[in-house]
């Protein structure tokens, strides 16, 4: 093998190695981009999940308030109904006492 052939083979080897290194670098870059995109998507999904959980919590609190208001309204209605019945009973007792005192 002559020196010229050796130099030619040597240059071809390094040209091939350079091309392989470029392909490897390109693949690494594409993988890195894919990982970054995946991480961004995961971050967006986590943010969306967190936002939905917050919305659910707010809705739960709103429902609890509505239930409490409904229960309070029922209690008020029952109180007034009981009070009305009590007043009616007291009037009847008063009428009976008047009749007895006559």
Quick: pLDDT tens for 51-95.
Answer: 999 999 999 999 999 999 999 999 999 988 888 888 888 888 888
Return the ∠ at Cα 71 (arms to 57 and 63), rounded to 5°. Answer: 15
Residue 33: the pLDDT is 96
Cβ within 8 Å of residue 9, ≥6 positions away: 1
| Choice between 34 and 96, residue whose per-residue pLDDT is larger | 34
Range with the largest mean pLDDT of 1-5, 90-94, 95-99: 90-94
pTM: 0.52
């Amino acid at each position: 093998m002559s020196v010229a052939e050796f130099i030619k083979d040597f240059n071809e080897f390094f040209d091939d190695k350079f091309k392989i290194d470029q392909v490897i670098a390109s693949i690494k870059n594409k993988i890195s981009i894919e990982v970054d995109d995946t991480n961004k998507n995961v971050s967006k999904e986590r943010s969306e999940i967190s936002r939905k959980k917050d919305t659910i919590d707010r809705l739960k609190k709103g429902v609890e308030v509505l239930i409490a208001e409904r229960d309070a309204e029922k209690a008020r209605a029952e109180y007034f109904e009981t009070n009305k019945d009590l007043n009616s009973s007291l009037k009847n007792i008063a009428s009976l006492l008047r009749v007895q005192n006559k």
